[in-house]
Chain A
Amino acid sequence: MATATKLYKQSWHALRQLQQYRTIASGNASASIKSRNELFNQEQKRQRDAVGRVEKIEVRYLGLPEDVTLVMNNHISTPYNCAQHLSEGHCKRSALALVDGSVPWDMHRPLQESCTLQLLNFNVSEPHVVNKAFWRTCSFMLGAALQRAFKDEARLQLHSFPGPNIKSGSFVHDIVLGAQNWEPTKAEMRAISAEMVKLAAQDLRIERLEVDKELAKEMFKDSRYKSEQLPSIAQQNQSRVTLYRLGDHIDISRGPMVASTRFLGKCTILAAHKVANEGSTDAFYRLQGVALPTGFSLNHIAYGLLEKRAQKLNSARLPNEPFEEQQQMQLS
């Protein structure tokens, strides 16, 4: 057992190193990503070590096939671990957990106390919470996809994404690009969509981490817009900031998000609207797309209607509007 974990750790480190080399190879922006990931790893490790003596909690699982009580480890076990006790199907299908019947909880976030637990998928009778988490994850993934899709020369900076609003018909990510008159072609949009699909195919786990303000500032010191936003975000949440990571992409978000990128089924990125000029060379752009969870099939005509609607400019708060107004929606 011990050798197995050792081997696993070694291979994990090797993979990390490989990723780091790869990121080193591609310039300045990736150096900041690398340091951000390192800080994230360190903090994650620190938090895991800080658990100390393992305490047991009783988790009451409600749902199919039957209600059971599971004895889990406090601050270590996640809803995903509970699902592992139930069946493989539960692990695969559950996108989000519901703690104590009302609090949406990420599948990979350690449980804090004894509670009841429900596992949600996209087909439950009241899927508002999961849908919202899915829409938010789509925005987050769009950020990751954009970072993969653009070269360094494009001077891409992720700005933020407004809170998920499914009724608006599209999920959104606001960015700043080093070009004031970018008119995206269809092929470019398709390339970004393809990145999204690739992310979904990679089945990346979405990790959640709560850090304090200073560390978050340290992590996002290279990103101008993020560091501008950080103080007000921290202020709302007792100077704590919630971070999410997907592969090597880290972003600030309130959460919750779905368990994995695997849940993204059909997805199209449709439009990039120019919002405003930023400085003399840069400009704000709003990227929009529409997506369905895996397992939902929609005929192409209906989906075409959704696509058409998603091309219109989303009415969510624009990135160049004053930051203070967005109290309730801020970085979702």
Chain B
Amino acid sequence: MNQADVSKLMSQLRIAVRSNKRNLKNPDGPEGRLLKLRKTVTALVKHERIELFYNRADEARGYAELLISNAIRHGDRHKATMELADYWLLEKQLVHKLFKVLVPRYENYNVSYTRMFKAPRDYPGIYYRKSVLELRGNPYPVLTQDNSQNRNLLHNVLLDEARKEFRREKLASLANKLAAETEETPKPTVEKATEV
């Protein structure tokens, strides 16, 4: 039952966070781990879509999310945030990108800033799982299949037909109504028709 650290205030991540960190084995210990992740985060901010091992991607994802959320929260006038950006982005022109490109892009998002996909593992190859990590709103073509556009897919056919039938029914009921009105009071509808 430890007390939560109250000296820092962080906004909630919109991704699922593991309860504990992965050590990402390397000889330099935690510092080396962070260096690895810095490289990944830098690459992510630079290229906006990268393919790498799942574990490293999953670890780096949280850092990238927090970096962006901090940048949005405090802006580029905040010294601590600037220091953070300076530490996490190994290429310094990317600091500019973070504050001038990514912050405006993500300001009004209410979903996570990154996406992660499982990628196929080449056989035979290294046995680690692979993944694709990307920033949302990147300029590349989407990775997932867009099922909503192909009108020939089964559910789209069904929905289109349902829509057509609904329209037909609506039109038929309108026509019926008109017919009923003309039967009851022939004069006003004639006026209406002329108006139309």
Partners in one complex: yes
On chain B, the number of residues with a Cβ less than 8 Å from chain A's Cβ atoms is 13
A300-332 vs B, Cβ < 8 Å mask (1 yes, 0 no): 001001100100000000000000000000000
Query: Cβ of B112 < 8 Å from any Cβ of A?
Result: no
Query: Cβ of B158 < 8 Å from any Cβ of A?
Result: yes
Known contacts A123-B145, A125-B150: A296-B155 contact under CB 8 Å:
yes
Is the pair A169, B165 in contact by a Cβ cutoff of 8 Å?
yes
B140-177 vs A, Cβ < 8 Å mask (1 yes, 0 no): 00000101001011110111011001000000000000
B68-112 vs A, Cβ < 8 Å mask (1 yes, 0 no): 000000000000000000000000000000000000000000000
**Complex-state Cα separation, A309 to B168, whole angstroms:** 13
Is the pair B162, A169 in contact by a Cβ cutoff of 8 Å?
yes
A212-244 vs B, Cβ < 8 Å mask (1 yes, 0 no): 000000000000000000000000000000000
**Complex-state Cα separation, A167 to B165, whole angstroms:** 10
User: A122 contacts which of B153, B158, B159, B161 (Cβ < 8 Å)?
Assistant: B153
Known contacts A123-B145, A123-B147, A309-B165: A169-B154 contact under CB 8 Å:
no
Is the pair B153, A127 in contact by a Cβ cutoff of 8 Å?
yes
Is the pair A306, B162 in contact by a Cβ cutoff of 8 Å?
yes
Note all chain A residues with C-beta closer than 8 A to B153.
Answer: 122-123, 127, 131, 296
Is the pair A167, B154 in contact by a Cβ cutoff of 8 Å?
no
Is the pair B147, A167 in contact by a Cβ cutoff of 8 Å?
no
**Complex-state Cα separation, A122 to B153, whole angstroms:** 7
Is the pair A166, B158 in contact by a Cβ cutoff of 8 Å?
yes
Q: Min CB distance, A310 to chain B, in Å? A: 9
Number of A-B contacts (CB under 8 A): 51
Q: Min CB distance, A301 to chain B, in Å? A: 11
Chain B: which residue is nearest A128 at the CB level? B152
**Complex-state Cα separation, A83 to B162, whole angstroms:** 36
**Complex-state Cα separation, A293 to B156, whole angstroms:** 12
Is the pair A296, B157 in contact by a Cβ cutoff of 8 Å?
no
**Complex-state Cα separation, A167 to B163, whole angstroms:** 11
**Complex-state Cα separation, A125 to B150, whole angstroms:** 7
Note all chain A residues with C-beta closer than 8 A to B157.
Answer: 131, 166-167
Is the pair B154, A166 in contact by a Cβ cutoff of 8 Å?
yes
Query: Cβ of A285 < 8 Å from any Cβ of B?
Result: no
**Complex-state Cα separation, A166 to B145, whole angstroms:** 23
Is the pair B154, A122 in contact by a Cβ cutoff of 8 Å?
yes
Is the pair A127, B154 in contact by a Cβ cutoff of 8 Å?
yes
Note all chain B residues with C-beta closer than 8 A to A122.
Answer: 153-154
Is the pair B155, A292 in contact by a Cβ cutoff of 8 Å?
yes
Within 120-173 of A, Cβ neighbours of B (below 8 Å) are at: 122-123, 125-128, 131, 134, 166-169
Chain B: which residue is nearest A312 at the CB level? B165
Query: Cβ of A246 < 8 Å from any Cβ of B?
Result: no
Task: Give the size range of A's interface with the partner.
Answer: 20 to 34
**Complex-state Cα separation, A194 to B84, whole angstroms:** 55
Chain B: which residue is nearest A170 at the CB level? B158
Q: Min CB distance, A88 to chain B, in Å? A: 10
**Complex-state Cα separation, A172 to B150, whole angstroms:** 25
Chain B: which residue is nearest A125 at the CB level? B150
Known contacts A123-B145, A169-B165: A306-B150 contact under CB 8 Å:
no
Chain A: which residue is nearest B150 at the CB level? A125
Query: Cβ of A298 < 8 Å from any Cβ of B?
Result: yes
Known contacts A123-B147, A169-B165, A309-B165: A290-B158 contact under CB 8 Å:
yes
Q: Min CB distance, B159 to chain A, in Å? A: 6
Is the pair B152, A127 in contact by a Cβ cutoff of 8 Å?
yes
Note all chain A residues with C-beta closer than 8 A to B165.
Answer: 169, 309
Is the pair A167, B161 in contact by a Cβ cutoff of 8 Å?
yes
Is the pair A293, B154 in contact by a Cβ cutoff of 8 Å?
yes
Is the pair B152, A305 in contact by a Cβ cutoff of 8 Å?
no
Note all chain A residues with C-beta closer than 8 A to B159.
Answer: 302, 305-306
Note all chain B residues with C-beta closer than 8 A to A126.
Answer: 152
Note all chain B residues with C-beta closer than 8 A to A127.
Answer: 150, 152-154
**Complex-state Cα separation, A302 to B166, whole angstroms:** 13
User: A134 contacts which of B145, B154, B161, B162 (Cβ < 8 Å)?
Assistant: B154
Chain A: which residue is nearest B157 at the CB level? A166
Q: Min CB distance, A123 to chain B, in Å? A: 6
User: A309 contacts which of B150, B152, B155, B162 (Cβ < 8 Å)?
Assistant: B162
With A126-B152, A305-B162 known, 15 other A-B pairs at CB within 8 A are: A122-B153, A122-B154, A123-B147, A123-B150, A123-B153, A125-B152, A127-B152, A167-B157, A168-B161, A169-B158, A169-B161, A290-B158, A292-B155, A296-B155, A302-B155
Q: List 6 A-B contacts (CB under 8 A).
A: A131-B154, A166-B158, A169-B161, A169-B162, A305-B162, A306-B159
Q: Residues of B with Cβ closer than 8 Å to A?
A: 145, 147, 150, 152-155, 157-159, 161-162, 165
Q: Residues of A with Cβ closer than 8 Å to B?
A: 122-123, 125-128, 131, 134, 166-169, 290, 292-293, 296, 298, 302, 305-306, 309
Top-4 shortest CB links A-B? A167-B161, A131-B154, A309-B162, A306-B158
